[in-house]
Structure 1
Amino acid sequence: MRIVVIVLLVVLVLAVGLAVYVRVAPSDPDRWHVMPDDVTDRDLEGGAMRVVDAGEGGLARLHEIITDTPRTTVLAGSVEEGMITYVTRSKVFGFPDYTTVQQSGGKIRLYGRLRFGKSDLGVNAKRVDGWLNRFRQG
């Protein structure tokens, strides 16, 4: 019985440690504030990519929509720079997802991806598509 209690305590300490790490691990802009050259409309195992027509001022409009999303902050970039990377954290565990948005000419490219794990279960695609639906309505 004593060994079972010790094992459970070790598991609990590891779980709490992992939860704390997920919330406090630094986000390096040099690693996450990047846009791949091959962005096309597609879902990835751990994220999603989209390309949309935006027109003048599109990035500024989309920025307002994105920053209105709960638990979402700017990691790097700005509308003036033409590229912004956002961090959106999950509600319960605080897992970070990164979305980089870039406007080039009349097109906006979005690249959303997870940081931890291999599959995001479609969360990034759903979030990005929700932003784009609001963008198209407005």
Structure 2
Amino acid sequence: MKLLTIILIALVVVIAAGALWVRLMPLPAEQAQPQTVGDMPEPGDYPAPRAFTAVREVAEPEAALRRLSDVALATRRTRLLSGSVEEGRLRFVTRSLVFGFPDITTVWTAPGRVALHGGAVMGARDMGVNAKRLRGWLDAAGLPPEA
């Protein structure tokens, strides 16, 4: 009985330490993603195992970026890491509910386009959460998929 109690306490301590580490670990300075206007793909959706990229044609990129910024900042557990609408580039972190696993999303503009790239910082797969979140942001900002 005493051994079982010790094992359970040790297990709780290990889980708590892991959850604390995930929440306090430094986030990468940059996430692997297109970085320049020249790297922006054609309009469309580009799913990957641990990331999702979406590009939309827009008449007013800065206005679209502002709407996306407002939507992102209204999303639970999401905060702005860097950038501004004026710079034409924003970087957000969204954390999962229970353990706080971070996903980094970058939103940027190019002439006539706005792009979003969301990717998991940890793990081999993101279970589709980035695609779901970014499609939701696009829909809420009035930027649905192309017909």
Give the TM-score normalised by the residue count of structure 2. 0.81
- Per-residue CA deviation, residues 88-130 of structure 1 (Å, 9 max, x unaligned), is 1112221111100111111011110111111111111000000
Correspondence for 1:100: 106
| Contact kept in structure 1, 2:46 and 2:53, CA below 8 Å | yes
Task: Give how far 1:38 is off.
Answer: 5.8
Correspondence for 1:88: 94
Segments of 5+ residues of structure 1 without an aligned counterpart are none
Secondary structure of 1:100's counterpart equals: strand
Q: How far apart in 2 are the matches of 1:35 and 1:26? A: 19
Q: How far apart in 2 are the matches of 1:109 and 1:117? A: 24
Q: How far apart in 2 are the matches of 1:89 and 1:54? A: 29
Q: How far apart in 2 are the matches of 1:44 and 1:122? A: 9
Segments of 5+ residues of structure 2 without an aligned counterpart are none
| Contact kept in structure 1, 2:40 and 2:115, CA below 8 Å | no
> Over aligned residue pairs, what C-alpha RMSD do you find?
2.1
The correspondence of residues 34-73 of structure 1 with structure 2, limited to 5 A, is 35-36=33-34, 37=39, 39=41, 41-56=45-60, 57-73=63-79
- Supply the AA of the counterpart residue of 2:30: R
- Supply the AA of the counterpart residue of 1:44: A
1:31 pairs with 2:30? yes
- Supply the AA of the counterpart residue of 1:41: D
- Per-residue CA deviation, residues 41-100 of structure 1 (Å, 9 max, x unaligned), is 211111211001222221112111111111110111111111111011112221111100
- Per-residue CA deviation, residues 18-40 of structure 1 (Å, 9 max, x unaligned), is 10011111224x223x6423646
Q: How far apart in 2 are the matches of 1:83 and 1:74? A: 11
Secondary structure of 2:141's counterpart equals: helix
Percent identity between the two aligned chains:
39
| Contact kept in structure 1, 2:82 and 2:91, CA below 8 Å | yes
